[in-house]
Structure 1
Amino acid sequence: MKKNLLTLISLLTSTIYAQDLYEVARTTAPIEIDGVVNEQAWKSVEPFPMTMYTPVYQGELTEKTEIRMCYDDEYIYFSGVFLDSDHKGIQGNSLLRDGDPGGDFFNVLLDTYNDNENFSTFSTMPSGNRLDAEILNDAEGDQSQIFNASWNTFWSVATTRNDAGWYAEMKIPFSSLRFDDNNGNVIFGLITHRLIGRKNERQTFPAIPPNWNMAAWKPSRAQKILLTGIKRKNPIYFTPYVLGNYQQNSAYDSTRKEIADHSDTDGEVGLDVKFALSSNLTLDLTLNTDFAQVEADNVQVNLTRFSLFFPEKRQFFQERSGVFSFTTSNISQNRLFHSRRIGLDENGNLLRVYGGGRLVGRFKNLDVGVLTMQTEGSDPSISSENFGIVRLRKRVLNAYSYLGTLITSRVDSEGNYNFVTGADALLRVAGPYYLTIKGGHVFSDHLPDSENSMGYIKWEKRAVSGLGYIAEAEYTGKNFDPGVGFVLRKNNLALNQNVVYGHFIDGQWVRKLEPFAANSIFLRNNDQSLETMTTEPGILILFASGADISFSVLRTYDEVKEDFALSEEAFVPAGNHTFSTLNAAFNMSNGRMIRTSVSGETGKFYDGDKASLSISPTWIPSKHFQISLNYTFNRIEFTERDQLLRADIASATMLAALDTKWSLRSLVQYSKLNNKVAVNTGLRYNHKEGNDLYLVYNQVSNTVGQDIEGIELPGTESWSLTLKYTYTFIR
Structure 2
Amino acid sequence: MRLIPCLLICLCCLQLQAQKKNGAYQLHIRKASSPIKIDGVADEQAWRDAEAASDFFMILPMDTSFAKVRTDVRMAYDQQNIYLLVENFNGAPGPYMVESLRRDFAFLKNDNFLLFMDPFDDQTNGFSFGANAAGAQWDGLMYDGGKVDLSWDNKWHSVVKNYPDKWVFEAVIPFKSIRYKKGITQWGINFGRNDLKTTEKSSWAPVPRQFPSASLAYTGVLVWDVPPPDPGANISLIPYLLGGINKDYQSGKPEKWRGDAGLDAKIAVTSSLNLDLTVNPDFSQVDVDKQVTNLDRFELFFPERRQFFLENGDQFTNFGYAGIRPFFSRRIGLGVPIHFGARLSGKLNKDWRLGVMNMQTGSQSATSLPAQNFTVAALQRRVFARSNVGFLAINKESINYNPDKAAPGAPVYSRYNRNFGLEYNLASANNFWTGKAMMLKSFSPGKSGADWAHAANLQYTSRQWNISWQHEYVGKNYTAEVGYVPRTGYIKLVPQITRLFFPKNGPVLSHGPQITSTSFFDEKMRRTDNELLTSYGLVFRNRNTLTLWGSNTYIKLLQPFDPVNIRKDSLAAGTQHNWNTVGADYVSKPQSLFTYSLSARYGGYYADGKRLTFTGEFGYRFQPFVSIALSANYNKLDLPQPWGRNDFWLVGPRLDVTMTNTLFFTGFMQYNEQMKNMNLNTRFQWRYRPASDLFIVYTDNYLPEPFYVKNRALVVKLVYWLNI
Query: Does the alignment reach a TM-score above 0.5?
Result: yes
Residues 429, 39 of structure 1: alpha-carbon distance in 2 compared, 3 angstrom cutoff: closer
Report the secondary structure of 2:250's partner residue.
strand
| Residue of structure 2 equivalent to 1:255 | none
* Aligned residue in 2 for 1:708: none
The alpha-carbon deviation at position 536 of structure 1 amounts to 0.5
Q: Which amino acid aligns with 2:488?
A: K
Cα distance per residue 1:222-262 (max 9 Å; x no partner): 1132223312223210111110010000125xxxxxxx233
Alignment correspondent of 1:427 = 426
Q: Deviations over 1:639-693 (max 9, x none)?
A: 4656122222110111102211211011110101122110111101101222110
Relative distance call for 1:308 and 1:28 in structure 2 (3 A) is same
Contact residue 217 and residue 429 of structure 2 kept, 8 A? no
**CA distance in structure 2 between the partners assigned to 1:462 and 1:335 by the alignment:** 25
- Give the match for residue 283 of structure 1: 275
- Give the aligned partner of residue 339 of structure 1: 329
Matches within 5 A, 1:330-729: 330=322, 333-345=323-335, 351-364=336-349, 365-379=351-365, 380-396=367-383, 398-415=384-401, 416-428=415-427, 432-445=432-445, 447-463=446-462, 465-525=463-523, 527-565=524-562, 566-569=565-568, 571-574=570-573, 575-606=575-606, 607-639=608-640, 641=642, 643-705=644-706, 715-729=708-722
**In structure 2, C-alpha distance between the alignment counterparts of 1:507 and 1:30, rounded to whole Å:** 50
Distance 1:626 1:439 in 2: 45
Identify unmatched segments of 5+ residues in structure 2.
Answer: 1-8, 402-414
Q: How far apart, in 1, do the equivalents of 2:193 and 2:202 lie? A: 5
How far the C-alpha of 1:157 sits from its partner, in A, is 0.8
**Aligned match of 2:178:** 177
Q: Could you tell me whether the CA contact under 8 Å between 2:594 and 2:620 is conserved in 1? A: yes
- Asked whether the equivalents of residues 570 and 644 of structure 1 are also in contact (C-alpha less than 8 Å), the reply is no
Given that 2:159 and 2:170 are in contact with CA atoms closer than 8 Å, whether structure 1 keeps it comes out as yes
Match of residue 130 from structure 1: 137
CA distance in 1, matches of 2:27, 2:163: 32
Question: Is residue 459–residue 472 contact of structure 1 (8 Å, CA) maintained in 2?
Answer: yes
Q: What does residue range 19-168 of structure 1 map to in structure 2 within 5 Å?
A: 19-20=23-24, 22-26=26-30, 27-44=32-49, 45-59=51-65, 61-84=67-90, 86=92, 88-101=94-107, 102-139=109-146, 146-168=147-169
Contact between 2:418 and 2:480, CA under 8 Å: does it hold in 1? yes
Alignment match, 1:3: none
Distance 1:272 1:316 in 2: 9
Q: Deviations over 1:683-729 (max 9, x none)?
A: 01101222110000011001112xxxxxxxx7100000000001111
Deviates more, 1:605-614 or 1:571-580: 571-580
Work out the percentage of aligned pairs sharing the same amino acid. Answer: 24
> How far apart, in 2, do the equivalents of 1:571 and 1:689 lie?
54
Contact 1:492–1:522 under 8 Å retained in 2: yes
Shift of the alpha carbon at 1:133?
A: 2.1
> Residues of 2 paired with 1:11 and 1:593: CA distance?
45
Distance in 2, Cα, partners of 1:686 & 1:554: 48
Q: Could you tell me whether the CA contact under 8 Å between 1:354 and 1:374 is conserved in 2?
A: yes
Task: Supply the AA of the counterpart residue of 1:387.
Answer: F
CA contact (8 A) 1:427 1:434 kept: yes
Q: Give 3-state SS (helix, strand or coil) of 2:94's partner.
A: helix
The residue type equivalent to 1:721 in the other structure is L
- Aligned-pair CA distance for 1:572: 4.3
Deviation at 1:11, TM superposition (A): 11
Q: Which amino acid aligns with 2:499?
A: Y
Instruction: In structure 2, give the amino acid aligned to 1:22.
Output: Q
Alpha carbons 1:239, 1:690 under 8 Å: kept:
no
Aligned to 2:243: 244
* Residue among 261, 270, 275 paired with 2:262: 270
User: What number of residue pairs does the alignment pair up?
Assistant: 688
1:314-364 Cα offsets, whole Å, 9 max, x none, are: 11111122222344344xx2211111111124xxxxx21101100011112
Residues 494-539 of structure 1: per-residue CA shift (max 9 Å, x gap): 11111112333332411111321111111111x3211101111111
Q: CA deviation at 1:66?
A: 1.5
Q: Which moved more, 1:545-554 or 1:565-574?
A: 565-574
Match of residue 201 from structure 2: 202
Q: CA deviation digits over 1:81-135, x for unaligned, max 9?
A: 1222655322243112224542311111112232222342111112112111234
Distance 1:275 1:456, change over 3 A: same
1:400–1:722 CA distance, 2 compared to 1 (3 A): same
Cα distance 1:327–1:25, how it changes in 2: closer, same or farther (>3 A)? closer
Question: For the Cα contact (< 8 Å) 1:103–1:592, is it kept in 2?
Answer: no
Q: Which segment is superposed worse, 119-128 or 612-621?
A: 119-128
Q: Is residue 2:294 matched to residue 1:302?
A: yes
CA positional deviation for 1:306: 0.2
Q: Alignment partner of 1:503: what SS?
A: coil
Q: Distance in 2 between matches of 1:277 and 1:493?
A: 44
Structure 1: runs of 5+ lacking an equivalent: 1-5, 140-145, 253-259, 346-350, 706-713
Return closer, same or farther for 1:611/1:247 CA change in 2, 3 Å cut-off.
Answer: same
Determine the C-alpha separation between the residues in 2 that align with 1:309 and 1:132. Answer: 25
- Does the 8 Å contact 1:692/1:726 carry over to 2? yes
> Equivalent residue of 1:723, what SS?
strand
1:293–1:457 Cα change, 3 Å: same
CA distance in 2, matches of 1:329, 1:11: 21
- Between the aligned partners of 1:614 and 1:122, the Cα distance in structure 2 is 34
Q: Secondary structure at the match of 2:217?
A: helix
User: 2:404 is matched with which residue?
Assistant: none
Q: 1:49 corresponds to which letter in structure 2?
A: D
8 Å CA contact 2:55–2:66 kept in 1: the answer is: no
Aligned residues of 1:555 and 1:581 also touching (Cα < 8 A): yes
Contact kept, 8 Å, 2:510 with 2:539, in 1: the verdict is: yes
